[in-house]
């Protein structure tokens, strides 16, 4: 697929504006995203996922902007869509996250940084690739569009951006 759909373009723009902190442009694109067929819960999911890539402050600011937009649009009857799911309490999140990471990257991700700080490997697998990716709502491709767009809007993350482009 060589061209992004209107929905995918909105995902990219929402992610970029959230990561860069451009709230005025974000509010406009949130409206456009809803008009392009994104559901309320899909946009929430994008903004929640972005905390893992650009931090809680940007994610929370994006969610606040979206709350404002949804309040202004309450007469438009936007589609709410499916809510995210939570993994069962007895799930081995490390194993689940490792499986998702392998599906995305094609192999087990290892390296000196994970040996130096093993907690980061645990957080990536258990939280990002398990808790967040297991929620559904967005496809893996849509999640990658959001991730790449956010990373491309930030400075100093070339290694991570290149890794996600490869995914």
Give one DSSP letter per residue of the chain, joined into a string: --S--HHHHHHHHHHHHHHHT-HHHHHHHHHHHHHTT--HHHHHHHHHHTHHHH-HHHHHHHHHHHHHHHHHTGGG-----PPPP---TT--HHHHHHHHHHHHHSS----HHHHH-HHHHHHIIIIIIIIIGGG-SS-HHHHHHHHHHHHHTSSS-HHHHHHHHH-
- What is the rounded CA–CA span in Å between residue 113 and residue 99? 20
Is 60 exceeded by the pLDDT of residue 138? Answer: yes
Answer yes or no: is pLDDT of 57 > 80. Answer: yes
Highest mean pLDDT among 23-27, 114-118, 120-124, 131-135: 23-27
Which residues, 6 or more positions from 140, have their beta carbon under 8 angstroms from its beta carbon?
103, 104, 133
> Among 11-20, 54-63, 101-110, 131-140, which is the least confidently predicted range?
101-110
| pLDDT tens per residue, range 90-105 | 999 999 999 988 888 8
Predicted confidence band of residue 79 (pLDDT cuts 50, 70, 90): very high
Diameter of the chain by CA atoms? 53
What pLDDT, on a 0 to 100 scale, did the predictor assign at position 72? 94
Give the model's pLDDT for residue 111.
Answer: 83
Confidence band (pLDDT; 50, 70, 90) for 1?
low
């Amino acid at each position: 697929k060589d061209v992004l759909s209107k929905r995918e373009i909105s995902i990219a723009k929402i992610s970029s504006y959230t990561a860069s902190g451009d709230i005025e442009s974000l509010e406009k694109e949130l409206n456009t995203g809803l008009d392009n067929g994104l559901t309320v819960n899909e946009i929430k999911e994008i903004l929640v996922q972005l905390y893992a890539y650009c931090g809680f402050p940007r994610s929370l600011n994006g969610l606040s902007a979206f709350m404002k937009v949804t309040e202004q649009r309450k007469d438009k009857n936007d589609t709410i869509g499916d809510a995210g799911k939570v993994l069962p309490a007895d799930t081995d999140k490390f194993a689940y996250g490792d499986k998702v990471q392998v599906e995305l990257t094609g192999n087990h991700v290892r390296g000196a940084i994970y040996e130096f700080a093993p907690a980061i490997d645990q957080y990536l697998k258990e939280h990002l690739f398990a808790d967040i990716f297991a929620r559904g709502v967005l496809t893996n491709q849509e999640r990658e569009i959001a991730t790449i767009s956010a990373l491309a809007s930030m400075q100093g993350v070339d290694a991570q951006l290149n890794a996600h482009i490869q995914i």
